[in-house]
Amino acid sequence: MITQNRIKTVLILAVVALAVFAGPAQAGPLEGELGILTADTLAGNNPATGAPWAVGDQYRFAFHTSAKTTATSADITTYNAWVQGLADASTAYDIGADDGVTWKVIGSTDEVDARDNTSTNPTVDGSGHAIFLLDGSTVVANDYADLWDGEIQNIINITEQGTEWAFWPFTGTYLDGTKAPGHATSFAALGGGSQIHQGKASVTTEWIWRTWTGDPPDTELPIYALSDPLVIVGQTDPNLPSVDAGNDWITWSGEPVALDPNVVEKEGSDWTDLTYAWSADPNDGVEFSDPDALAPTVTITKATDNPSIVTLTLAVNNEGRLEPPVTDSMTIDVYDDSCLAAVDLGLAVFDPTDLDENCITNFADFAVMATTWLDDYALTGPEPK
């Protein structure tokens, strides 16, 4: 399953990779994660939305396995691992785990329905995303509701090796994505009976469920696999400058920090009128000498926690032509005072003579000592133990 972190990383890369044109900002040429979707496909509309494809849109791939397996296991993870292994071993496409793609079987056991195993349940996972074959252009289903409405757009007949095959796969699944209803002990879900239900891959209306069709679980048959959601990104604009917000810093409340970013323009780039904008999160008590300068000074008045951690982000644009701009961030740890910063960082320790613990030994420490001057803490007689 795709993780949130991965989605965020891909989306950040996608939005940074917008191309620059004269006038209002526009996205550059689009491409799908993995680079399989064809240019003609991306020049059209997203089947799930009916609108032109855009950076951040998601989609999925399905394949018919090139190999066969039995259906004796009632554990769905057995089949998930098997199709993942086939994807990992593909020599036709870069679609394996090393490429960041997770695959699951489009199949059901008695414990889990296919639509839940693949996170395509419209009542749980929403309208969802378009599903394509690995040729990068053939639509299997416009969205999750379309996948489970009884008929897909096109048969699933391309394997993870790029070959074509449309056989009778084990599915254990009914038309709506739920486990096979079963007829006594026959035509059951994967691992669930003496006859495991099959689909007929060559027919769009019977792709996953064909009435009264099954084989013993120890028969070897192909199955279907579905990828996790993938993301549409923009091709990188070679004109984009390199942006480094600079070092992370440690300071204390009210002490200015001179920022040290590094922005490098690409040779031959038309980014000749760069603009800069600094922002802070959280921004309470943050004051820039000039937030629109490349390297301003920032002063932070500490509010909460020790230390307060403030993230500063530098956004670089070219006369406002790119939205969003190219960005990079750094952090500043802000302590109550210089003494606490030094001690907390291990750069200083409190001297025994520093009685008020302010990293300074002076008459103020004598004043602290004077409050107990000539006090006698010794016992005045024996005490019971």
pTM for this prediction: 0.60
Per-residue model confidence (pLDDT) at position 375: 73
Tell me how far apart the alpha carbons of residues 129 and 48 are, in angstroms, rounded to a whole number. Answer: 6
Q: What is the average pLDDT across 102-119? A: 97
- CATH superfamily for 1-237 is Mannose-Binding Protein A, subunit A (3.10.100.10)
Q: What is the average pLDDT across 270-297? A: 92
* First vs last C-alpha separation in the chain: 66
Per-residue model confidence (pLDDT) at position 104: 98
Per-residue model confidence (pLDDT) at position 244: 95
Q: What is the DSSP letter of 98?
A: G
- 161 contact partners, CB below 8 Å, separation of at least 6: 66, 90, 91, 92
Q: Which tokens go with 114? A: 């296919």
Q: Where are the domains of the chain?
A: 1-237, 239-385
Backbone angles phi, psi at 89, to 5 degrees: -90, 0
pLDDT at 3 over 90: no
- Name the strand (E) or helix (H) holding 41: helix 39-43
What percent of the chain is modeled with pLDDT above 90?
A: 64
Backbone angles phi, psi at 77, to 5 degrees: -65, -25
pLDDT at 9 over 50: no
What pLDDT band is residue 207 in, cutting at 50, 70 and 90? very high
Tell me how far apart the alpha carbons of residues 123 and 111 are, in angstroms, rounded to a whole number. Answer: 18
Per-residue model confidence (pLDDT) at position 318: 85
Q: What is the average pLDDT across 66-93? A: 98
Three-class DSSP category at 374: coil
Look at domain 239-385 and name its CATH class. Answer: mainly beta
Helix ranges restricted to H, 107-208: 114-117, 122-125, 144-147
Q: Choose among 86, 344, 98: nearest CA to 223.
A: 86
Report the number of secondary-structure helices (H) and strands (E) in the chain.
8, 18
Q: What is the average pLDDT across 133-161? A: 98
Specify whether the CB–CB gap between 201 and 208 falls below 8 A: no
pLDDT per residue over 339-385, tens digit each? Answer: 777 777 766 666 676 665 666 667 775 676 677 777 776 777 787 87
- 139 contact partners, CB below 8 Å, separation of at least 6: 47, 130, 131, 132, 153, 154
Q: What is the DSSP letter of 322?
A: S
Averaged pLDDT of the chain? 86
Q: What is the DSSP letter of 25?
A: -
Of 3 and 376, the structure prediction assigns the larger pLDDT to 376
Q: Choose among 251, 246, 247: nearest CA to 300.
A: 251
Tell me how far apart the alpha carbons of residues 217 and 197 are, in angstroms, rounded to a whole number. Answer: 9
Residue type, 237: D
Per-residue model confidence (pLDDT) at position 351: 67
Per-residue model confidence (pLDDT) at position 183: 58
Per-residue model confidence (pLDDT) at position 347: 61
Tally of CB atoms within 10 A around 164: 11
Tally of CB atoms within 10 A around 338: 15
C-alpha dist (Å) from residue 306 to 254, 296, 313, 334, 353:
14, 25, 22, 7, 25
pLDDT per residue over 255-264, tens digit each? Answer: 999 999 999 9
- 3 contact partners, CB below 8 Å, separation of at least 6: none
pLDDT per residue over 166-195, tens digit each? Answer: 999 999 999 999 999 875 556 899 998 899
pLDDT per residue over 211-237, tens digit each? Answer: 889 999 999 999 999 999 999 987 666
Q: What is the DSSP letter of 33?
A: T
Between the ranges 28-42, 165-179, 320-334, where is the mean pLDDT highest?
A: 165-179
Q: What is the average pLDDT across 293-317? A: 90
**Could you write out the DSSP letters of every residue in 56-121?**
T-EEEEEEE-SS-B------HHHHHHHHHHHHHT-SS---SGGGT--EEES---SS--HHHHTT--
What pLDDT band is residue 34 in, cutting at 50, 70 and 90? very high
pLDDT at 319 over 90: no
